[in-house]
Structure 1
Amino acid sequence: MPPHDVFSALANPVRRRLLDALRDGPRAVNDLVSEFELSRPAVSEHLQVLRQANLVKEEPRGRQRYYHLEPQPLDEVREWLHPFEHYWRARMRSLRDLLDEENP
């Protein structure tokens, strides 16, 4: 799956919250739905996008479907973002210096 698909999947706040909910381990789809003010089909659509981006995998267990976080694509995003980290550090230093000037 191309990296831009991962970025597209991560661009949506609902999908980021779904990934966050899966950090502690697999969860049933009904359990995930209960955390949102969305219909089950809407949550399922978001999970499908995450599956297509290889960010989650689906495991059928009887009549339930459990979702697992797949961290590999997130590692690739982190590696891609790493070279830009010095820009953020520089901006944070500038902000700190500005705040120090205003509050001696």
Structure 2
Amino acid sequence: MRRDVFQAIADPTRRDIINLIARKSLNLNSIAENFEMSRPAISQHIKILTECGIVVINQQGRERYCEVQPKKLMEVADWLEPFREMWEARFDKLDTLLKEMQSKKKE
């Protein structure tokens, strides 16, 4: 079963893993050290992230390093864009209303 990006970011641990390796590639042990759960549990989260295409694993010698694929997260950004535009429009209207109220108050 192919998972999608939204399934990957639905879990807070996976979001934390993404944030952690967004700064620099880390091996599985280094990732696991940042969490209070077993290494197999972290490996399962990494597996889901790789199935979604958010993380790739690169073999370097005996180590496996996880790296974020930010392009894949664009699906989330694209989905959120109409909502961002809607809220910006609402805040612009609120800003206009507040300015009108302030100008009336000064009169």
1:79 to partner: Cα distance = 1.4
Q: Does 1:20 align with 2:19?
A: yes
Could you tell me how far apart the structure 2 residues matched to 1:68 and 1:59 are? 8
Identify unmatched segments of 5+ residues in structure 1. Answer: 98-104
Q: TM-score, normalised by structure 1?
A: 0.79
Q: Does 1:50 align with 2:49?
A: yes
Could you tell me how far apart the structure 2 residues matched to 1:6 and 1:76 are? 7
Could you tell me how far apart the structure 2 residues matched to 1:62 and 1:40 are? 20
Which residue matches 1:80? 79
Identify unmatched segments of 5+ residues in structure 2. Answer: 99-107
1:87 to partner: Cα distance = 3.7
Q: TM-score, normalised by structure 2?
A: 0.77
Question: What's the C-alpha RMSD, in Å, of the aligned pairs?
Answer: 2.3
| Count, aligned residues | 94
What are the within-5 Å matches in structure 2 for residues 26-45 of structure 1?
26-45=25-44
Which 4+ stretches in 1 moved above 2 angstroms?
86-91
Q: Percent identity?
A: 35
